Amino acid sequence: MLRIRPATVGDAMAVSALVLPLAREVVDAPDATAFLATLGPDGMFERLASPRFAGLLAEDGSGACGIILMRDTTHLYHLFVRRDRQGLGIARRLWRAMTGAGGSTQGAPARFTVNSTPSAVEVYRRLGFEATAQMQHSDGISFLPMVCERPLNACPVTR
């Protein structure tokens, strides 16, 4: 059974253990050390303690299996699902839980941004995001700037 709950500073170690192995797969240059350091327990603690960030943690019988972290309510900062749990709709459930994308905002306009790694572009497209620029490269990471801009209850989440 999947449980989604607010992420707290007490989750920093578990979130880091979930995120770091996945992030290492998308780093495309040795100069990503600074980025990877932000994903360590101290970096996660810092973000989870900050009022600028809000996170939800997905857990199943084996522990933490997904995390979504928003910065300033509109930038999707992190969305990671443990490799063995990918393809089961966890990212979609985290996104919907974080944004209230079931219509709970009565159609209030929303504009969400994300910098997607190449391997996650299709996931974000299915969540309603569209590219806003070409692929970018910075600090050893390749990413595609994307936006989801429409009323929350109209954000198409497709399979």
The CATH code of the domain that includes 24 is 3.40.630.30
Q: Is residue 144 part of a domain?
A: yes
List of residues 6+ apart from 148 with CB closer than 8 A: 110, 111, 112, 114, 124, 127, 128, 129, 130, 155
> pLDDT value at position 106?
43
> pLDDT value at position 3?
98
50 φ, ψ to 5°?
A: -80, 135
Q: Is residue 159 part of a domain?
A: no
How many domains would you assign to the chain? Answer: 1
Q: Is residue 124 part of a domain?
A: yes
Tally the C-alpha atoms within 13 A of residue 143's C-alpha that lie toward its C-beta. 18
Give the confidence band of 18 by pLDDT, cuts at 50, 70, 90: very high
Structural domain boundaries enclosing 7: 3-154
Percent of the chain with pLDDT over 90: 70
Q: Is residue 44 part of a domain?
A: yes
Comparing 10-19, 40-49, 58-67, 99-108, the range with the smallest average pLDDT is 99-108
Could you tell me the two tokens for 81?
Answer: 């699902």
Q: What is the pTM of this model?
A: 0.86
Whether residue 94 has pLDDT greater than 80? yes
Whole-number Å distance between alpha carbons of 92 and 84: 16
111 near 97, Cβ under 8 Å? no
Q: Is residue 28 part of a domain?
A: yes
Q: Is residue 136 part of a domain?
A: yes
108 near 152, Cβ under 8 Å? yes
H-run or E-run covering 104: none
